[in-house]
């Protein structure tokens, strides 16, 4: 037995069939004549239908029915295409707009490739130094072609400077430098080797600003003075000056930077088995030995020795005690020929190692933008504003557990 279709269902089917027949007829006429009219378009796409107002009579295929897109609040349809947008957006992946910097005044981060935070932090410290950055940008194209690492560094700096992205992909640079992105390395060793590599790569540059940029910014000189306690004369080797690119300071047993600098420049007593042979006296005598600062660089890099070697276990241990440092540092009084004026340094960057283990943990950098005066935290891809005085407004400094400190010589010094 078969049920007779209702009149309503029959009417719907008939109207649909009528529409299909009408559309087919129009299409046949267009094909035969090779032309179409505005009325043909209105009929084919049902443009003649009225704009829906809550949509009771319009069909879902009407171009003037918007209920499938944004259902009106007073309409009968409460769901539509836009109700599924979160699912659709999620299937498309991350929103690329979120990968853009909020402002050109916000520095860009660097992608962490696994264990490259130590390199990222150093690179950000170097990039944020405008003099160093300008020196790298001035390198001629021919020299860049000869030195792939130098070429990739200039490209990386260009992206950090001009790209609208929130963080820059560092893979090409890391690959060219042949770093193992799965192994955590020491930032101090990386900086030392990297500056040495740059110095060799730039020595043939025809641009003066580029050729000596590493030496001009980071190189100072010291001498190791040995003085006889009997005749008071210095050894012949005492007049020899040695270059340095950073001062390595002990922090074990010290609570602040002044104490560590005092220790670095302190006198060491040579007596007993450690007596010194004085050529003037012609015999072994008691003596003193010390380091004398001869010249200071424009950017003073201080390496805080947080890792100490334990002879009993032949392992390294990290010193986790707090260590304070000033915002303004007067190094003139510490020169071998003291200077009351000049050699005033202002804290410009701090590199911090988070974690208690020596061969693991995480590096971040706190760096001051010399142009705006704002401090920023560089944590790989993430860059956060710290404000004008993250370590306090006075010059007493802070007790952040830093490992590296970069100090920029004050203007006019």
Q: For the stretch 269-278, what's the b/e string if a residue is b when 16 or more beta carbons lie within 10 angstroms of its beta carbon?
A: ebeeeeebeb
Domains observed in the chain? 20-77 (no CATH), 107-409 (3.90.70.10)
Residue 17 has pLDDT above 90, yes or no: no
DSSP H helices, 138-223, are: 141-146, 148-162, 171-176, 187-202, 208-211, 213-218
Q: Report the C-alpha gap between 111 and 118 in whole angstroms.
A: 12
User: 301 vs 350, 404, 406, CA distance in Å?
Assistant: 10, 7, 5
How confident is the model at residue 8, as a pLDDT?
A: 45
- Band of residue 369 on the pLDDT scale cut at 50, 70, 90: very high
Look up 362 and say whether it is catalytic.
yes
- The answer to which of 101-105, 169-173, 253-257 has the lowest mean pLDDT is 101-105
Q: Binning pLDDT at 50, 70 and 90, where does residue 12 land?
A: very low
Tell me which of 77, 161, 224, 362 is the catalytic residue. 362
117 is catalytic: yes
**pLDDT, tens digit, 9 for 90 and up, residues 36-94:** 888 888 877 777 777 766 555 555 566 776 665 665 566 555 555 545 556 656 666 66
Q: Is residue 163 over pLDDT 50?
A: yes
Average pLDDT value for residue range 235-256:
92
How many other C-beta atoms can be found within 10 angstroms of the C-beta atom of residue 108?
A: 22
Instruction: Output the DSSP codes for 199-242.
Output: HHHHTT-S-HHHHTHHHHHH-EEEEEEEEETTT-PBPGGGG--E
Q: Are 37 and 30 in contact (CB under 8 A)?
A: no
Q: Which of 55, 117, 125, 228 is catalytic?
A: 117
Residue 403 has pLDDT above 70, yes or no: no
Which pLDDT tens digit goes with each residue over 89-143? 666 666 666 678 877 789 999 999 998 999 999 999 999 999 999 999 999 999 9
Going through 95-186 in order, the beta strands assigned E by DSSP cover 109-110, 167-168
Residues in Cβ contact with 378 at an 8 Å cutoff, skipping those fewer than 6 apart: 107, 109, 110, 120, 121, 124, 364, 365, 366, 367
Sequence-distant (≥ 6) Cβ neighbours of residue 306 within 8 angstroms: 251, 318, 319, 320, 353, 401, 403
Neighbours of 402 (CB within 10 A): 22
């Amino acid at each position: 037995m078969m049920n007779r279709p209702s009149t309503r269902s029959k009417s719907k089917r008939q109207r649909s069939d009528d529409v299909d027949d009408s559309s087919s007829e129009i299409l046949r006429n267009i094909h035969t004549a090779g032309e179409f009219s505005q009325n043909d378009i209105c009929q084919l796409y049902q443009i003649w239908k009225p704009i829906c107002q809550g949509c009771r009579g319009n069909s879902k295929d009407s171009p003037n029915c918007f209920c499938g897109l944004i259902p009106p609040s007073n309409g009968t349809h409460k769901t539509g295409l836009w109700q599924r947008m979160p699912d659709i957006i999620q299937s498309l992946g991350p929103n690329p707009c979120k990968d853009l910097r909020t402002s050109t005044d916000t520095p860009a981060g660097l992608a962490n490739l696994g264990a490259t935070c130590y390199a990222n932090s150093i690179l950000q410290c170097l990039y944020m130094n405008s003099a160093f950055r300008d020196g790298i940008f001035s390198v001629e194209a021919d020299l860049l072609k000869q030195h792939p690492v130098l070429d990739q560094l200039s490209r990386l700096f260009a992206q950090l400077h001009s790209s609208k992205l929130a963080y820059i992909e560092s893979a090409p640079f890391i690959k060219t430098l042949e770093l193992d992105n799965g192994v955590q390395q020491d930032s101090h060793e990386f900086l030392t080797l990297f500056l040495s590599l740059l110095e060799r790569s730039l020595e043939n540059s025809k641009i003066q600003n580029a050729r000596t940029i590493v030496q001009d910014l980071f190189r100072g000189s010291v001498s190791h003075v040995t003085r006889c306690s009997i005749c008071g004369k210095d050894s012949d080797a005492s007049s020899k000056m040695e270059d340095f690119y950073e001062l390595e300071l002990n922090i074990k047993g010290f609570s602040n930077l002044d104490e560590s600098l005092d220790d670095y420049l302190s006198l060491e007593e040579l007596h007993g088995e450690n007596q010194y042979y004085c050529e003037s006296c012609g015999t072994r005598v008691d003596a003193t030995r010390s380091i004398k600062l001869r010249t200071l660089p424009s950017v003073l890099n201080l390496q805080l020795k947080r890792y100490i070697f334990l002879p009993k276990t032949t392992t390294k241990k990290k010193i986790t005690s707090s260590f304070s440092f000033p915002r303004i540092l007067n190094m003139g009084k510490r020169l071998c020929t003291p200077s009351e004026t000049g050699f005033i340094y202002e804290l410009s960057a701090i590199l911090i190692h988070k974690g208690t283990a020596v061969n693991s943990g995480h590096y971040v950098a706190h760096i001051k933008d010399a142009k705006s005066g704002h401090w920023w935290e560089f944590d790989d891809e993430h860059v956060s504003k710290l404000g004008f005085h993250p370590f306090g407004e006075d010059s007493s400094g802070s007790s952040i557990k830093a490992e590296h400190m970069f100090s920029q010589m004050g203007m006019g010094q």
